[in-house]
Amino acid sequence: MGNFTSMIHIRRAEVSDAAQLQRVFASSGTYAGTLQLPHPTTEIWQERLEKADPKDTRLVAIYDGVVVGMASLHMEKKQRRSHVASLGMGVADSFSGRGIGTALLTELLHLSDNWLNILRLELTVFCDNTAAIRLYKKFGFDIEGTMRAYAFRDGQFADSYAMARLHPRQAMVPLRET
């Protein structure tokens, strides 16, 4: 038997994953680290999957036949930002720190860099989510700023970092002096 991460299977999310995604995002750490609300329903997830933009990519991580995480790329709709996508991710509390985020992010970046012609990937992450920040930095994301009182979470306002990553094989986009 191989190591744990070699037993993780990544595939595109399907409508039939709704009940399992509901369980992932019902994890207190998962909804606290995202903009999701507590107590999601299977119907909410089924509707999200049914009405997903076909240009977006939603991947799930499967371990032992069970969905344990999800990551998605959302393509920017504005023409002048067609080179940009935003990233979202959630991993079930019981699988946190076990390589699920790394496996999902590896596959999303492979798609982004080699198939979707994305120059810039953007994300937001709560400032106190040190594990996620460490993961994103490992994959080349930089903190570009702090958004104060970004979201209301567990009875108080929480700050978030804006992070981004430019495609590593692209020439650096020159910054104009102002």
pLDDT for the residue numbered 169? 78
155 domain-assigned: no
156 domain-assigned: no
141 domain-assigned: no
DSSP states of 79-147: GGGTTEEEEEEEE-GGGTTTTHHHHHHHHHHHHHHHTS--SEEEEEEETT-HHHHHHHHHTT-EEEEEE
22 domain-assigned: yes
108 domain-assigned: yes
What domain count does the chain have? 1
177 domain-assigned: no
pLDDT for the residue numbered 173? 56
Question: By residue range, what is the domain housing residue 35?
Answer: 4-121
Q: Per-residue confidence of the chain (178 residues) as pLDDT tens digits?
A: 446 667 999 999 999 999 999 999 998 888 888 898 899 999 999 999 999 999 999 999 999 999 999 999 999 999 999 999 999 999 999 999 999 999 999 999 999 999 998 999 999 999 999 999 999 999 999 999 999 999 999 999 999 999 999 998 775 555 556 5
